[in-house]
Chains A and B, each alone.
Chain A
Amino acid sequence: MSVTVAEHAPDPHVVAAEPEARRSSDNGWVWQVTLLGIALGVMLALAIRTTTRIRTSGLPGSRFGVPATFISRYKDQNTRLQQEIRQLRAKVREFEANTSDATRSAQLLREQLRDLKGLAGLSAVEGPGLIITLRDSRVRPVAGTQPADYLLRDQDDVSGLVSELWAAGAEAIAITGGKEKKGERFVVSTTVREAGPAGGRGVVVNGKLLPPPYRVQAIGNSKELRAALQMPDGFVEVRGLRVLEMIEIQESKHLVLPEYSSSRRAQYAPPPHQ
């Protein structure tokens, strides 16, 4: 705008032909206002289109686009899957290269069994991870709160924590209760159940009664596991475990988790073939 004004300023005809000058400057304004009007019209149209598009997008609820967390989740997941594929291909090649070597083939089978048992919780494993302690709160109660607010909800808190750890990428988990040293390893059939009125406080894991405080050991990337537990709106925050000092998280470079040792033998269905 100021450019236009400056343009008129040095015009030598302005003083001499005053009415003409006025007319010509009027004409200039017509163009400017027209252009301005067009620009405004386009902007208005865009604004209206954006608004209606958001309203009619049909996305779930009032959601706008897809959160980027989804993409990063898929990205990480797909990268891990690609690694897994590379490992499996190497395994197939190794087996195929050794079909005629009986000793080597038998050794490969043993390695397969060892890895699978470690994965399934049927053999001891070692690695870095977290040690998490859950206990009743020792914080001085605040007026207006219930005594129960300061106690663990045994089943919900332990299974909630374990679920959070698995979701964050834990690879092996074991739990001990009270002063017990030896942990109960999680296998596919393991559940955390309330001991019930007859059993008193505590949870039953793999058929064994564990009293509080609970110590959960999880092998995995300790930074990622810790970040998941400290996530805003996550399980730990929502339950107020940190505020009430009911949770303690320790990183460990070397954890050793025992194998599943319950006498309760799982029955299993036969494989579909054979």
Chain B
Amino acid sequence: MVLLGISVLVFVLLHAISSSPGRAVLGVQASAASVAAFNHAHGYDRPLPLQYLSYLGSLLHGDLGYSYKLNQPVTALLGENAGRSAFLSAVSLVLSVVIAVPLGILQAVKRNTVIDNSLTGLAFVLYSIPAFFLGLVLIEFFSLRLNLLPSEASQATTVLGVVADPVSMILPVVTLTAVSVAAFSRYMRSSALDNLAQDYIRVARAKGLTERQVLSRHLLRNSCLPIITLVGLSLPALLAGNLIVETVFNFPGLGLLFFNSLQKEDYPVLMAYSLIVGVLTVLGNLVADVALAFTDPRIRLH
């Protein structure tokens, strides 16, 4: 239902913004007649609902449209870049969860101490820095001043090529991870604080478990539950962050493709990517719901 809504929204947006693809393809100097002929030949002069139905039909066949600017099917274009973007996003998502979860627990256990307050302060700063600014500061410091790390991400054409060149991916991954860690650890801290006050923690302590056991067996599992939902919800932000980070570090993924398409006003590509992101978001939320039901037997999907 929501998926259908996303396709309608993307379609309407596409038509509101570029209603005459013929004009865009043939250029401003083309005669009105040839523009009309192009639009007619490709069916862009039919009533909107009909156009939507054929758009939906081709979507279901995996056809996302055609980029007249690059003279390639959009599906092929996106497919070329998807692997690298997925790699960048996945690595930074995993890293941010792996860092944020222990950090949040540490802060909750040591609440209101110097450690907690300074980590909270750091999270606040990271949370308030625009991602591109953070990326540039990192480039300035590590690439230009210290000359330690390359300022450009890997330009390899395959995912394996990117994996083979981990040093060049350090800065992009750190940039993308830092912002998510700030958000995740804030949630993790408050979730762990809520759970620390629960009776079962007191029971666990009372029955003589070591503090380490209490934290890793009881607190960790329970306070991770909100993070599962949060990871699902954070997909749009992660992909928007991808757009910025890939632009800053010139990493040829979907975000950079989106940016280049913006410059060229290549609307079919822009719309196709927005559609995919929308679908991914919905799927992400669904997966998060299912995963939550799996991990927490108190929740039942009906």
User: Do A and B originate from a single complex?
Assistant: no
